[in-house]
Chains A and B, each alone.
Chain A
Amino acid sequence: MNKIIKSALDRGQRALSEHQSKLFLAEYGIPTTVEFLVQSIDEAKAAAEKIGYPVALKACSADLIHKSESGVIELNLRSLSDVAAAYVRIMSAMPIGLEGVLVQEMIPGMRELVFGMSREPQFGPCIMLGLGGVMTEILNDVVVRVVPFDMAEAREMAEELRCRELLDDFRGERAVDMNAICRALTGLGEIGIAHPEIAEIDINPMKINSAGQIKAVDALVVLKGGNHAAH
């Protein structure tokens, strides 16, 4: 069994933390943000200097499923003092139970997608691709395939999105790397088959940067038995 998942299961986690989720997804070729898990203000500052500004700070914990609602995300931090202040705010909002604080690159770009894996009783692992962002639920622009499928099928998923034109050159941003989307979709499919201990995966958002590259900005890997319980 995968090391990250095994240690999470050993600790009785119902889900992987954001950082663990991304480390795991990266093993399957899914592009993720540059980020460091830090334990102090000094480490946070050093990480921010290394990444370059602006950065984001996020509380990181396997018990933290809906971060944006808990006031533990600090975005667009542009200096050492920003980073220090944000660190203090996060620690005072959520002083205990943290794996640490994530210092993360900010991805410039207007376009967001969602990727996911879920299990259907009659079909097994299914992969979802959809339009992300604040309108995700409203627009519900979502395409699904049952695993396994090949790159051509993955390509068809992307082509089927109602927002397909968003993946071309868009308002000064470059057309998206379609192969990267397809590889991420088939990669999620491989995970679905190889890891029955995973119940569902959510990559939201998968941002498209202005150069057309995709990167998972937030990710959640839910373990079997973890479903519902973490709500």
Chain B
Amino acid sequence: MRPIEQTALYPIINPKSLAVFGASNKYASMGTNLLTSIMSLGFEGNIYPVHLTEKSVKGLPAYASVEDLPEIPELALMVLPTRIVPEALEACGRKGIRRAIVVSGGFKEVGGDGAALEEQICGIANRHGIRFLGPNCIGVANPHHKFNATFLPCPRESGFIGVASQSGSFITQMFDYLIQFGQAFSAGISVGNEANIDLVDCLEYLGACPRTKVIGLYVETIRRGREFIDMARSIVPHKPIVAYYVGGSEAGRKASLSHTGALSGPDRLYDGVFAQSGVIRAFSIEELFDFCWCLGAVPKPAGNRVLIQTHSGGPGAVAADACSRAGLVLPPISAETLDKLSPYMPHTASAANPVDITYTKKSMDYFTQIPKILLDDENSDAMLMYFLMSEKSVIRAMEGFGIIGEEAVQESRKFIDEQSQSVVDMIKSHPKPCIGFSFYNRENQFVANLQDKGIVVLPSPTRAARALAAMVRYVKLREKIMSGL
């Protein structure tokens, strides 16, 4: 595997300097929006707007031609009318620019003249040794580099999930989606028509990217099949890859003489491709990011046996149901574990699996002592843990002790901070994976605290169970691939 600096995408995702085509002082234009995004995230390199008539663009000196630039920028960004893209790319090539992002659409995706134009820009790129992303893409975001070359605002927070997507929406529109879980991209790449740089190049970059702990893919088609498989197999031993594939229509399958052709439509084919590549398949956008989050944040399970801890019957039962549907096994609690648990268990509790504590005299028992004992259980590989900590009920309890008003609110915050910190410490000190689930979200202080400290809390038992099953699958696929190396 090449060092990241030598990958085609490195200067595109970590540019030192930029030429921007298509930004002006018209605030509604997409090019201007893109430049605004770049500036507002605080990009630290030089930015050179190229514009025929404007003397300055958004306060930056503008240049009538790329030839006039005082240096050779590492990257050219193009948000131009389709017909002038070839000319601009040619000028970039002459200037010595070797990387570009072509945001403009109207190429192969529209057919006809568009396809010819795409061939033309490919030819120009080849002649000048330019590697480019797009056309018809939304750009890239790399919060670690304070670089957001998309037209939607990207948060400053950076994360460990690196995504390459054949839909730009699943980069830009996921910025705020991920915030809901306290997560963020390490890098997001919209590949567009993949005329020059494709998913395989993205895999190479993200595989080598030290800030990316897990790779997510949104796939509608894989253009270089064999290369994809080989590249993925070289990455999976050290980094998980999750893919959400939106299948080609089964009905559109070509008529075939044999059963083989007729039976194995694209969905079955991609299922096989992912399995042999070691890629985990997700079946929704939510799953894609759930799986990425868990695979990047939670230790890998050694097997598929899971204990469920709850103090509410329904959520535990749902988790158990979802686990068995996802191929996970719920082992009985060992006699030794039962012994250790007994001092903490009220008479109403059930020590079957799910372990339903019902209530505890001390809340710390639920959050630390009991899960520690369960995680130590030798017959299990992982744990799912239900979290329910209502701020209002804590305040109510405070008031019961005579603490009222603002003081009750402050004391409640303090109490929740302490409790959540001890959960974090307990889970982090254990080598086994523990995934939390709750019907609360980050508006809940307890959930936000856990997530901010690196604990995964998913918004439903079903999603937690399926994410754990995805981790089990990763471990299995990784083993298979490593044994074949």
**Contact indicator per residue, chain A 217-231, by CB within 8 Å of chain B (1) or not (0):** 000101000111011
A137 to B255, CA, bound (A): 15
A65 to B262, CA, bound (A): 15
Q: Point out residues on B near A: beta carbons under 8 Å.
A: 221-226, 229, 255-264, 268-269, 271-273, 275-276, 480, 483-484
Residue from A120, A123, A156, A226 in contact with B275 in the complex, judged by beta carbons closer than 8 Å: A156
Question: A144, B483: Cβ atoms under 8 Å?
Answer: no
Task: Say yes or no for A143: interface residue by CB 8 A criterion.
Answer: yes
Determine the chain B residues whose CB is within 8 A of the CB of A150 once the complex forms.
484
Determine the chain B residues whose CB is within 8 A of the CB of A226 once the complex forms.
257
Question: A200, B264: Cβ atoms under 8 Å?
Answer: no
Determine the chain B residues whose CB is within 8 A of the CB of A116 once the complex forms.
258-261, 263-264
Question: B257, A153: Cβ atoms under 8 Å?
Answer: no
Q: A116-B260, A123-B226, A143-B268 are in contact. List 16 more A-B contacts (CB 8 A).
A: A114-B259, A116-B258, A120-B269, A122-B225, A123-B273, A137-B263, A143-B271, A145-B272, A146-B225, A153-B480, A156-B275, A199-B257, A200-B257, A202-B259, A220-B258, A226-B257
A226 to B256, CA, bound (A): 11
Residue from B263, B273, B483, B484 in contact with A128 in the complex, judged by beta carbons closer than 8 Å: B263
Q: Which of A47-80 contact B (CB under 8 A)?
A: 65
Residue of B nearest to A229 (CB): B257
Task: Say yes or no for A103: interface residue by CB 8 A criterion.
Answer: no
Q: Which of A103-126 contact B (CB under 8 A)?
A: 114, 116-118, 120, 122-124, 126
Residue from A117, A124, A143, A160 in contact with B226 in the complex, judged by beta carbons closer than 8 Å: A124
Residue from A122, A123, A200 in contact with B258 in the complex, judged by beta carbons closer than 8 Å: A200
Task: Say yes or no for A136: interface residue by CB 8 A criterion.
Answer: yes
A-B contact pairs, 19 of them (CB 8 A): A114-B259, A117-B260, A122-B222, A122-B223, A122-B225, A123-B222, A126-B264, A128-B260, A128-B263, A130-B259, A142-B268, A144-B271, A145-B275, A146-B225, A146-B276, A152-B483, A156-B275, A220-B258, A230-B257
Determine the chain B residues whose CB is within 8 A of the CB of A201 once the complex forms.
258, 260
Task: Say yes or no for A210: interface residue by CB 8 A criterion.
Answer: no
Question: B263, A200: Cβ atoms under 8 Å?
Answer: no
Task: Say yes or no for A149: interface residue by CB 8 A criterion.
Answer: yes
When A143-B268, A156-B480 are in contact, do A122 and B221 touch as well, CB less than 8 Å? yes
Residue of B nearest to A132 (CB): B259
Question: B263, A140: Cβ atoms under 8 Å?
Answer: yes
B263 CB to closest chain A CB (Å) equals 5
Top 6 A-B residue pairs of the complex, sorted by shortest distance between their CB atoms: A116-B260, A123-B225, A144-B272, A202-B258, A122-B225, A118-B260
A149 to B221, CA, bound (A): 21
A118 to B276, CA, bound (A): 17
Residue from A126, A149, A160, A202 in contact with B269 in the complex, judged by beta carbons closer than 8 Å: A126
A61 CB to closest chain B CB (Å) equals 15
When A122-B223, A146-B225 are in contact, do A227 and B257 touch as well, CB less than 8 Å? yes
When A116-B259, A128-B260, A200-B260 are in contact, do A123 and B269 touch as well, CB less than 8 Å? yes
A227 to B225, CA, bound (A): 23
When A122-B224, A204-B259 are in contact, do A153 and B264 touch as well, CB less than 8 Å? no
Residue from B257, B272, B480, B484 in contact with A146 in the complex, judged by beta carbons closer than 8 Å: B272
Residue of B nearest to A130 (CB): B263
Q: Point out residues on A near B: beta carbons under 8 Å.
A: 15, 65, 114, 116-118, 120, 122-124, 126, 128, 130, 136-137, 140, 142-146, 149-150, 152-153, 156-157, 160, 199-202, 204, 220, 222, 226-228, 230-231
Question: A118, B258: Cβ atoms under 8 Å?
Answer: yes
A136 to B483, CA, bound (A): 33
A15 to B271, CA, bound (A): 29
Determine the chain B residues whose CB is within 8 A of the CB of A220 once the complex forms.
257-258
A48 CB to closest chain B CB (Å) equals 29
A4 CB to closest chain B CB (Å) equals 18
When A123-B225, A144-B271, A228-B255 are in contact, do A153 and B260 touch as well, CB less than 8 Å? no
B167 CB to closest chain A CB (Å) equals 19
Determine the chain A residues whose CB is within 8 A of the CB of B276 once the complex forms.
145-146, 149, 153
B323 CB to closest chain A CB (Å) equals 20
Determine the chain A residues whose CB is within 8 A of the CB of B264 once the complex forms.
116, 118, 126, 128, 130, 142, 144
A117 to B272, CA, bound (A): 14
B66 CB to closest chain A CB (Å) equals 36
Question: B229, A200: Cβ atoms under 8 Å?
Answer: no
Question: A120, B263: Cβ atoms under 8 Å?
Answer: no
A127 CB to closest chain B CB (Å) equals 9
A7 CB to closest chain B CB (Å) equals 21
B261 CB to closest chain A CB (Å) equals 5
Which among A65, A126, A136, A230 has the highest number of chain B CB atoms within 10 Å?
A126
Question: A114, B257: Cβ atoms under 8 Å?
Answer: no
Determine the chain B residues whose CB is within 8 A of the CB of A15 once the complex forms.
257
A160 to B272, CA, bound (A): 10
Question: A114, B272: Cβ atoms under 8 Å?
Answer: no
A30 CB to closest chain B CB (Å) equals 14
A204 to B272, CA, bound (A): 20
Residue of B nearest to A226 (CB): B257
Residue from B226, B263, B268 in contact with A114 in the complex, judged by beta carbons closer than 8 Å: B263
Question: A160, B275: Cβ atoms under 8 Å?
Answer: yes
A155 CB to closest chain B CB (Å) equals 10
